[in-house]
Amino acid sequence: MQIQAVKVQRLYLQVAEQLQDLIANGVFEARKRLPSERDLADQFGVSRPTIREAMIALEIAGQVEVRSGSGVYVLDQRDGPAQIARDQGPGPFEILEARRLIEGETCALAAERISDEQLQRLQQILQAMEQENQRDDAAEQADQQFHSCIAEAAGNSALGATVGWLWDLRNKSEISTRFHQRVREEGIRPIIADHRAILDALQRRNARAARKAMNNHLQRVIDHLLENQ
């Protein structure tokens, strides 16, 4: 008997595949709007971010159309349902949740070890972020530089590599890049006030305040994206 490796499937893909089956079986009809995110979350017993990620996977597969401010609509499947890719990477909310857990502690450590030169660098990056937010083609490079600089200031190469890896996932995962592209198109930008609060806590070298400021920032990002998408 040949033993096959067991692969752990991402939760949002499991939800997406069940929704695909419901669409194929006519439970959700073409050109009709799907139930609300909250209703689907209750029915599947998962979080709203998981439903949001499943919708993006279905959109990439050509199963649904996401209409901002209106809802998610089932598309005609004239050529049959497209296959949902299984290698799309972690969902954007999975990445944000991981960042909140890791970057909060990283920021607290940075508050105890950050140099004056690194604080000055963060101030410069924050100014660049303010300017970048004014551009229609903003790619949030300054935002990534800000968080990477804090990870470097923590003086722990393992944490620095982990934070860098999470940003790489954000920028390379198909589902995540599609999501953040839409976010930028809708005019949602990094929250300057949150980054100022983080910098202020680091300047005071207050680890507890730095952890709280970073946690609050990333949780606010999650909440904001859920309410505005």
Query: In whole angstroms, what is the distance from residue 229 CA to residue 223 CA?
Result: 10
pTM recorded for the entire structure: 0.80
- Would you state the structure tokens that stand for residue 198, as one six-digit string? 């983080």
pLDDT in tens, 62-117: 889 888 778 899 998 765 556 676 666 788 899 999 999 999 999 999 999 999 99
Question: Taking the domains of the chain in order of start, what are their residue ranges?
Answer: 11-74, 92-228
pLDDT in tens, 17-37: 899 989 888 899 888 999 999
Query: In whole angstroms, what is the distance from residue 216 CA to residue 210 CA?
Result: 10
Q: Which residue has the tokens 């305040």?
A: 209
92-228 shares the fold of 11-74: no
- Domain 11-74 falls in which CATH fold? Arc Repressor Mutant, subunit A (1.10.10)
**What's 179's DSSP letter?**
H
pLDDT in tens, 148-202: 999 999 999 999 999 999 999 888 888 888 888 877 777 778 889 999 999 999 9
What CATH number should be reported for the domain whose range is 92-228?
1.20.120.530
Q: Is 65 helix (H, G, I), strand (E, B) or coil?
A: strand
